[in-house]
Structure 1
Amino acid sequence: MSVVGASDYSSLIDLAYAALSKDYDVAAELVGKLEKSLVVPDGQAPHDAVRIGSTVTFEVEGGFRRTIKLVDPDKIDVILARISVLTPIGVALLGLREGQCSQWFSRDGQAHHLTVVCVVQEAADLVL
């Protein structure tokens, strides 16, 4: 089960519904994932749960390993490996913790499986 902080849930659900009105193909998938997520008070989400701003290393079936930063759609940057939460892989990663697996479908409809290897939060997100 995905874990999402309350403020993140609020901003992500707003983003997802706005994307639905613009006919983004993964918006409905994001809404569905958020509706199934465990929403916890801010600051109580596990440190290793993927959220906006997380740097995530994951492994795709077959051993391909990649590190990306999950960002809002207006902050994407392919060169810096900043991937939008409004992409199939962004939705798949959201809320997962280290060691958890998920299935995602590429835009060509092909199913893939990934496993989260490592999650690093931005320093400003750390609660000591």
Structure 2
Amino acid sequence: MSQMPHPPPILIDADKLAFYESLAEGLETRFPDLAERFLEELSRAEIRPAGNLPADVVDLGRQVTYVDETTGREQTVTLVRPEEADITSGRAAVNTPVGIALLGLRKGASFNWQARDGRDHQLKILSVS
């Protein structure tokens, strides 16, 4: 994935940090680059006390709408555990490239994201609920 010179800050709920770390470690064998990216994101996160994550932060179970500023296309997904994922129903797993990119961001944050086809996109968080 591409990175902006100064990636936007991310916030993580302390109660979920160990779960996210175990998901990242589970990716190491089959998807080492993705695992590394996930662990990098977690290492730079501001860890918030359990239950004190602001409502406008992307987290498990929250719905996020973002726009691809490159194409103008808007998409809404709910961030879920891997076993609950179904992208055709708008449920994106937290341990996928887009899930990792969205996790912990606040409404208004912009970031670069590289799609599986290698194309770079500029995404912006429009809403979190």
TM-score of the pair, normalised by structure 2: 0.86
Distance 1:81 1:87 in 2: 13
* 1:76 maps to which of 79, 85, 100: 85
1:56 — aligned with what? 64
Gapped runs of 5+ residues in structure 1? 121-128
Structure 1 stretches of at least 4 aligned residues deviating more than 2 Å after TM superposition: 21-25
* TM-superposed deviation, 1:27: 1.7
Task: Tell me how large the CA RMSD over aligned residues is.
Answer: 1.3
2:53 — aligned with what? 45
Distance 1:104 1:23 in 2: 17
* 1:35 maps to which of 29, 43, 47: 43
Count of residues paired in the alignment: 120
1:19 — aligned with what? 27
TM-score of the pair, normalised by structure 1: 0.87
Distance 2:125 2:112 in 1: 12
1:126 — aligned with what? none
2:107 — aligned with what? 98
* Secondary structure at the counterpart of residue 15 of structure 1: helix
2:3 — aligned with what? none
1:112 — aligned with what? 121
Distance 1:112 1:78 in 2: 19
2:16 — aligned with what? 8
Distance 1:87 1:78 in 2: 11
Distance 1:83 1:117 in 2: 17
- Greater mean alpha carbon deviation, residues 14-23 or residues 87-96: 14-23
2:6 — aligned with what? none
Gapped runs of 5+ residues in structure 2? 1-8
* TM-superposed deviation, 1:78: 2.5
Bigger relative contact order, structure 1 or 2, given CA contacts below 8 A and separation 6+?
Answer: 2
